[in-house]
């Protein structure tokens, strides 16, 4: 039982959190903030949860958890309002530097110099994700990391990240979001793995306007999941229920859950019932529209803060007057925090407003558009709730008016506006990828070394040797995936490595792609170096939401405050049939900007890319060529050390006539066509892009186009897929359009997926004959005498 002092401090915190929710809603309606979503009604359960949250533990929650973050000392009321106002100063708003809407929390695990903080001395929170249940997959990874840190003795020296796996991963989720597949898949995996995970469900019986009877079997997630309950004969999860207004029971329940998870490494579901949401879902609507009067009356009576107050009075812990004083103080604290955050936000903007007004006023002195310029300046000077965009808009409007009037003031405004654009880039567009000294772009190239002893082996053996070296050299490296362990994956890249390095390092999983990715993200956020396998490229469709909304935006949405250097391994291209042979690269590169996409043409290049990424702090998807595992390659002597530079294309064949850009398995097909074309006097310059994200960082492809004046992009994706992206990069970004003498062409797969069989593959995807015909037709158009039409 908490002490009297602790109880009154809990009441103070609950009331302060409630007050900032109330004020936050008003700020949105006053136009000072764009949107508001708050944690009112959830205060008491979150305070109870915070009591068992220790240094080193990790939270993966959602946008109702402000009280919890305040209780663990990782959020102040002023920071809460700074996020509401989207203040881009990371010191004022450390969770996201104004990049995420309010209610999205996270701690900064990475220092400005790129080094890790000591996570065992912090109360840690992953950066929140809005999408329902999107926080759940990585929760499995946080808990799984504790299992690895406990069971792998080689990791016991990693004292900056774990105290021998003693950490618990805590998840929070609303009742409606438990209907998502992410939740069921992750809880099933947690029960299989037996990891220290506590999942708290905040149940207010609605998902916006939809009641539980439309959400969940039996209208209760704990009843629906009763089959997961562990018993004397079977491992599983522990399921606990408690009411969200019952202070004593909440404290006791979370103490029990924490003990089970931390000591026994058993996952626990805590279903917190009878919670309320006094202000409704968000500022976008009113819950009076869909809740009955009886329900609203019940919510008013069973508001957790009111129930807490009554319990304090019933227990003679404090008087009405004493609690009134606390509430008055909390209202004042909340108002002061609001004022301080607003003033700090406005002060950061005022200097830009003053500069723009001053220069525009100066331009007006001798301008034919004097009155219009003065009006623009006045609007900036006197307008309500002026934003940064208003400053930029006003400055550009002013420059349009004086476009024919040279002056020092005009030059000054142009110069200042360019500086401002750089500042806005830092505030709103920086750190999509790592910008630290550990960036993948900064890993130096190490060439593969060969000797007379270097053997010709199957490509799969190159991968096997690469992974063996990675596991040997770094105890933080581990691999998980379907069939990865016992049989060493379906293509034998990990063959024999489980037996050599142990099941804890090379581990089979169930068929559950989304939570495999989450398992990797969470573990990477805790300092480990996971390689997670998605068996086929097509299966990324199961994972794309988690990859896109969580991993790909992680560095960006925390402005470099968190990183998860996860490597996703998969394989694709050229397998025959609809389901395992897709090349949806356009979808991938557009959905996961923030994750590097590497497309090696063979296993030697793939191994070098793995080595590079393991030295970096970036995340990457590496797509191996599915038909390359049994092709012979020479095994480098330094298979564990050589590194392929990221973003550097490779010229596979020099030629004078046409530049052909391709990647992955298409390289072999294009090279075959190039050999055939050479017999007819057409010399292709074949360039392997090697990586799609990033793409040709030094703009080397344009140099080839300058020489050939012709461009073809060969790609296995659908028309307009990755080929459109490559053309945009080469023609627009590298400005190669000015050197092109013919219409740039793309050679792609058909609109449909590949049909089954060798014939189906041939007539569905680009082949050597198609490349020959297209390239030859380009030369026929240019010089029909020397290259007469074939057809």
Please give the Cα distance from 76 to 66 (Å, whole number): 9
Active-site position among 104, 271, 281, 580: 580
Encoding tokens for residue 153? 């003795």
Question: Is-contact 39 67, C-beta < 8 A?
Answer: yes
> Pairing relation of β-strands 477-481 and 529-533?
parallel
Please give the Cα distance from 126 to 172 (Å, whole number): 12
DSSP assignment of 133-156 equals: TTTHHHHHHHHHHHHHHHH-GGGT
What lies within 8 Å, CB to CB, of 486 at 6+ separation is 498, 508
Nearest to 440 by CA among 108, 114, 155: 114
Please give the Cα distance from 86 to 341 (Å, whole number): 10
What lies within 8 Å, CB to CB, of 325 at 6+ separation is none
Question: What CA dihedral angle connects 398, 404, 409 and 413, to 10 degrees?
Answer: 50
Angle, helix 181-193 to helix 136-151, in steps of 10 degrees: 10
E strands, 489-540, are 506-508, 529-533
Ramachandran angles phi, psi of 237, nearest 5°: -120, 155
Question: Is-contact 176 122, C-beta < 8 A?
Answer: no
- Give the three-class secondary structure for 519: helix
Burial of 319 (0-12, 13-18, 19+ CB in 10 A): exposed
Q: Active-site residue 580, yes or no?
A: yes
Which DSSP symbol is given to 52? T
Beta-bridged to residue 623, according to DSSP, are 570
Tokens 């004046």 identify what position? 709
Please give the Cα distance from 401 to 764 (Å, whole number): 56
The residues carrying an active-site annotation are 580
């Amino acid at each position: 039982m908490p002490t009297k002092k602790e109880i009154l401090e809990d009441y103070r915190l609950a009331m302060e959190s409630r007050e900032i929710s109330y004020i936050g809603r008003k700020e949105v309606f006053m136009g000072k903030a764009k949107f508001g979503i708050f944690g009112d009604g959830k205060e008491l359960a979150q305070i109870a949860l915070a009591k068992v949250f220790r240094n080193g533990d990790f939270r993966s929650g959602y946008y109702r958890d402000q009280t919890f973050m305040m209780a663990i000392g990782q959020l102040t009321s002023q920071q809460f309002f700074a996020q509401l106002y989207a203040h881009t100063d990371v010191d004022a708003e450390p969770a996201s530097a104004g990049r995420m809407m309010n209610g999205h929390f996270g701690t900064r695990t990475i220092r400005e110099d790129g080094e890790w903080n000591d996570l065992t001395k912090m109360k840690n929170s992953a950066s929140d994700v809005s999408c329902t249940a999107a926080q759940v997959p990585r929760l499995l990874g946080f808990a799984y990391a504790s299992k690895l840190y406990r069971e792998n003795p080689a990791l016991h020296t990693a004292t900056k990240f774990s105290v021998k796996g003693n950490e618990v991963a805590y998840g929070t989720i609303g009742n409606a979001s438990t209907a998502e597949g992410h939740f069921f898949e992750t809880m099933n995996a947690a029960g299989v793995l037996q990891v220290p995970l506590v999942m708290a469900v905040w149940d207010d019986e609605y998902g916006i306007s939809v009641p539980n009877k439309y959400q969940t079997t039996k209208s209760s997630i704990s009843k629906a999941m009763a089959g997961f309950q562990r018993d004397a004969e079977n491992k599983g999860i522990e399921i606990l229920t408690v009411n969200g207004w019952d202070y004593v029971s909440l404290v006791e329940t979370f103490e029990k859950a924490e003990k089970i998870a931390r000591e026994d490494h058993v996952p626990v579901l805590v279903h917190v019932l009878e919670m309320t949401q006094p202000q409704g879902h968000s500022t976008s609507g009113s819950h009076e529209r869909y809740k009955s009067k009886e329900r609203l009356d019940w919510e008013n009576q069973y508001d957790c803060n009111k129930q807490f107050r009554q319990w304090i009075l019933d227990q003679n812990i404090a008087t009405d007057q004493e609690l009134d004083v606390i509430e008055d103080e909390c209202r004042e604290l909340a108002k002061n925090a609001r004022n301080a955050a607003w003033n700090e936000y406005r002060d950061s903007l005022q200097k830009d407003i003053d500069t723009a007004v001053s220069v525009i006023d100066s331009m007006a002195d001798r301008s034919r558009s004097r009155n219009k310029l003065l009006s623009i300046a006045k609007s900036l000077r006197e307008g309500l709730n002026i934003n940064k965009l208003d400053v930029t808009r006003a400055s550009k409007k002013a420059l349009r008016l004086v476009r024919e009037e040279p002056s020092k003031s005009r030059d000054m405004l142009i110069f200042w506006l360019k500086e401002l654009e750089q500042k806005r880039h830092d505030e709103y567009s920086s750190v999509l990828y790592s910008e630290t000294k550990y960036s993948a772009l900064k890993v130096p190239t190490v060439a593969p070394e060969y000797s007379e002893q270097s053997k010709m082996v199957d490509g799969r053996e190159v991968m096997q040797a690469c992974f063996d070296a990675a596991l040997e050299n770094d105890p933080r490296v581990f691999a998980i995936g379907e069939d990865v362990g016992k049989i060493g994956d379906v293509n034998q890249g990990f063959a024999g490595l489980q037996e050599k390095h142990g099941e804890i390092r090379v581990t089979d999983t169930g068929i559950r792609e989304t939570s495999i990715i989450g398992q990797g993200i969470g573990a990477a956020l805790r300092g480990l170096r996971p390689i997670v396998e998605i068996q086929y490229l097509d299966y990324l469709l199961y994972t794309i939401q988690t990859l896109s909304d969580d991993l790909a935006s992680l560095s960006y949405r925390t402005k470099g405050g968190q990183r998860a250097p996860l490597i996703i391994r998969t394989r694709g291209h050229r397998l025959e049939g609809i389901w395992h042979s897709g090349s949806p690269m356009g979808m991938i590169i557009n959905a996961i900007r923030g994750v590097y996409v590497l497309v090696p043409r063979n296993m030697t290049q793939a191994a070098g890319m793995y080595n590079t990424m393991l030295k970096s702090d970036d995340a990457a998807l590496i797509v191996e060529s599915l038909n390359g595992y049994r092709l012979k390659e020479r095994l480098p002597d330094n298979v564990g050390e050589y590194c392929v530079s990221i973003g550097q294309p490779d010229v596979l064949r020099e030629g004078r006539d046409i530049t052909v850009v391709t990647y992955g398995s298409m390289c072999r097909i294009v090279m075959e066509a190039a050999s055939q074309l050479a017999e007819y006097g057409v010399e292709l310059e074949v360039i392997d892009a090697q990586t799609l994200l990033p793409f040709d960082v030094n703009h080397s492809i344009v140099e080839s186009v300058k020489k050939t004046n012709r461009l073809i992009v060969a790609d296995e994706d659908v028309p307009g897929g990755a080929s459109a992206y490559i053309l945009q990069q080469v023609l627009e970004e590298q400005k190669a359009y000015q050197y092109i003498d013919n219409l740039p062409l793309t050679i792609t797969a058909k609109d449909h997926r590949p049909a089954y069989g060798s014939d189906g593959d041939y007539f569905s995807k680009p082949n050597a004959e198609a490349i020959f015909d297209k390239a030859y037709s380009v030369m026929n158009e240019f010089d029909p005498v020397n290259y007469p039409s074939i057809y």
